[in-house]
Amino acid sequence: MSTTSPSTASTAATRPGPLLSVRELQVHFPTQDGLVKAVDGLTFDLEAGKTLGIVGESGSGKSVSSMAIMGLHRGTNAQVSGEIELAGVNLLDISADEMRRKRGRDVSMIFQDPLSAMHPYYTVGNQIAEAYRVHHSVSRKIAKQRAVEMLDRVGIPTPEKRVNDYPHQFSGGMRQRAMIAMGLINDPGLLIADEPTTALDVTVQAQILDLLQDLQREFNSAVIIITHDLGVVAEMADDVLVMYAGRAVEHGPCKEILTHPEMPYTWGLLSSVPDLSGDTGARLVPIPGNPPSLLNPPSGCAFHPRCPHRDKVPGDLCRTELPLLVPGERGGHHTKRCHLPNPDAIYATEVLPEIAPDLAVERAKEL
């Protein structure tokens, strides 16, 4: 059972503080055309039982950083540096063997597309039981029993029959449930969900989000949920981290970020999705342009070529100098990477009236 090395086990139990602590994480890929800085200096903490939502467009580095936490860049030519401390152990220092013992037990992951994440040739039960037997020396029979229990827990009807089915016999929602069962069978402290509901319909998405929340409460796991859907983040996350071009551009408590965003990129994300009660006569306000190339990122703030507010910053600061991720006007927990001097006022007067006129009126009354 206990196969982890003594050093890791002892520190894990005693050390207080966050479960996961990522410091200055960099993931760089050398390519023929140059160095791709997929993640460039990412720092965040996550406590047990809490949920962190990572939001960003494709290519912003959200999946790459979560793969670094899983240690999935080992054996590739990626250059990973910084610190990823999970329960007091720096995952970047330990050997591949030690990482393998942690993977699935201390940290596990569920993927976006459950059909391609499961092996088509093995039964679902077989794959879930295998995940259990890797970390527990038990017989096949007991492992299978455990797989049935987990399938039952994630809400698969008649699990003792479905455990012998192949992945293609499951529907999309059921496959995602089976993936969750596989991810949680070893009761990991940290679960990374990479776009867990993007491939699913809204009604099934709601089921899966409910299930994830229930299970998180039951197992007290920390969850990182990676998504591009701010609605999902709003429902699930305690903290939100907005990523752009490999860097965190805004980080703070979920409610704070969604009601008082201070970074123009977050404003853009909020204003480019219509919502179910908005004014249909209004135009959507897209973020102009395209996401930048990571081979040759823009100078200064990576968002400046697409930023509609850069002329409000004195001098040519946006183009020349990378802003630091520092606390904004609203206190220490809410950090942002932007030069704008008075973002909350700009948001209230210029952005909010466009995306939510009703809220803007309320806000004006408060002031």
Partner 1 sequence: MTNETINQPIEGDPDDMAVAPRIEGHSAAVAPADAKPILEVDGLRMYFPVKSPGLIRRTVGHVQAVDGVSFQVAEATSLGLVGESGCGKSTTGRLITRLYEPTAGAIRFEGQDIAHARAGELKPLRREIQMIFQDPYTSLNPRQTVGSIVGAPLVIHKVLPKDKILPRVQELLEIVGLNPEHYNRYPHEFSGGQRQRIGIARALTLQPKLLVADEPVSALDVSIQAQVINLLQDIQNEFGVAFLFIAHDLAIVRHFCPEIAVMYLGKIVEIGDRESIYTNAHHPYTQALLSAVPDVKQAAAGGRLERIRLQGDVPSPINPPSGCRFRTRCPIAQEICARHEPPLLQIGRKHKVACHFPGRLGEAPREPLTAGLLGVDSEGRPDPGASPSTDLVEQPGYADTWFDLDNKSIGRA
Considering only residues 245 to 274 of the shown chain, the ones binding partner 1 according to CB under 8 A are: 254-255, 258-259, 268-274
Nearer to partner 1, 82 or 268 (CB): 268
Query: Residue 247, SS3?
Result: strand
Q: Which is nearer to partner 1, 174 or 191 (CB)?
A: 174
In the chain the first and final C-alpha atoms are separated, in Å, by: 60
- Shorter beta-carbon distance to partner 1: residue 88 or 353: 353
Give me the least distance between CB of 308 and partner 1, in Å please: 4
Question: In this complex, which beta carbon is closest to partner 1, that of residue 283 or of residue 365?
Answer: 283
List all residues 6 or more positions away from 356 whose beta carbon is below 8 Å from its beta carbon. 278
Query: Interface residues for partner 1 in 305-324 (CB under 8 A)?
Result: 305-306, 308
Distance of CA 202 to the CA centre of its chain: 19
Q: How far apart are CA 11 and CA 19, in angstroms?
A: 12
**Alpha carbons 121 and 80: distance in angstroms, whole number:** 34
Q: Which is nearer to partner 1, 72 or 234 (CB)?
A: 234
Instruction: Report the nearest approach of partner 1 to the CB of residue 138 (Å).
Output: 32
Q: Please, which residue, 145 or 207, has the CB nearer to partner 1?
A: 207
Q: What is the pattern of x (binds partner 1, CB under 8 A) and - over residues 172-201?
A: xxx--------------------------x
The C-alpha atoms of residue 67 and residue 85 are separated, in whole angstroms, by: 14
Nearer CB in complex with partner 1: 2/277:
277
Among 13, 96, 276, 367, binds partner 1 (CB under 8 A): 276
Cα–chain center distance at 133: 28
Using rule CB under 8 A, residue 49 touches partner 1 = no
Q: Where are the alpha helices (DSSP H) in the chain?
A: 6-14, 62-69, 96-102, 114-117, 124-135, 140-153, 159-162, 172-184, 202-219, 230-236, 254-259, 264-272, 317-320, 343-346, 352-355, 357-366
Nearer to partner 1, 286 or 341 (CB): 286
Q: Which of residues 204-243 bind partner 1 (CB under 8 A)?
A: 204-207, 209-210, 228-232, 234-235
Interaction residues for partner 1, span 74-133 (CB under 8 A) = none
Cβ of residue 188: shortest distance to partner 1, in angstroms?
Answer: 24
The only residue of 17, 30, 286, 327 in contact with partner 1, by rule CB under 8 A: 286
Gap between the Cα atoms of 112 and 331, Å rounded = 35
| Helix or strand (DSSP H, E) at 274 | none
- How would you list the strands of the sheet with 89-90, edge to edge? 34-46, 20-31, 79-86, 89-90
CA distances from 12 to 9, 86, 189, 256 (A): 5, 8, 11, 31
Count of CB atoms situated within 10 Å of the CB of 97: 9
Q: Dihedral (C-alpha) 86, 91, 93, 97: value to the nearest 10 degrees?
A: 120
For residue 120, what are its two tokens?
């088509």
- 169 contacts partner 1 (rule: CB under 8 A): no
Smallest distance, Å, CB 358 to partner 1?
9
Q: Of 275 and 316, which has the nearer Cβ to partner 1? A: 275
Q: Measured from the CB of residue 47, what is the shortest distance to partner 1 in angstroms?
A: 20
Residue numbers at the binding site for partner 1 (CB under 8 A): 57-58, 157, 171-174, 201-207, 209-210, 228-232, 234-235, 254-255, 258-259, 268-291, 305-306, 308, 353-354, 356-357, 359-361
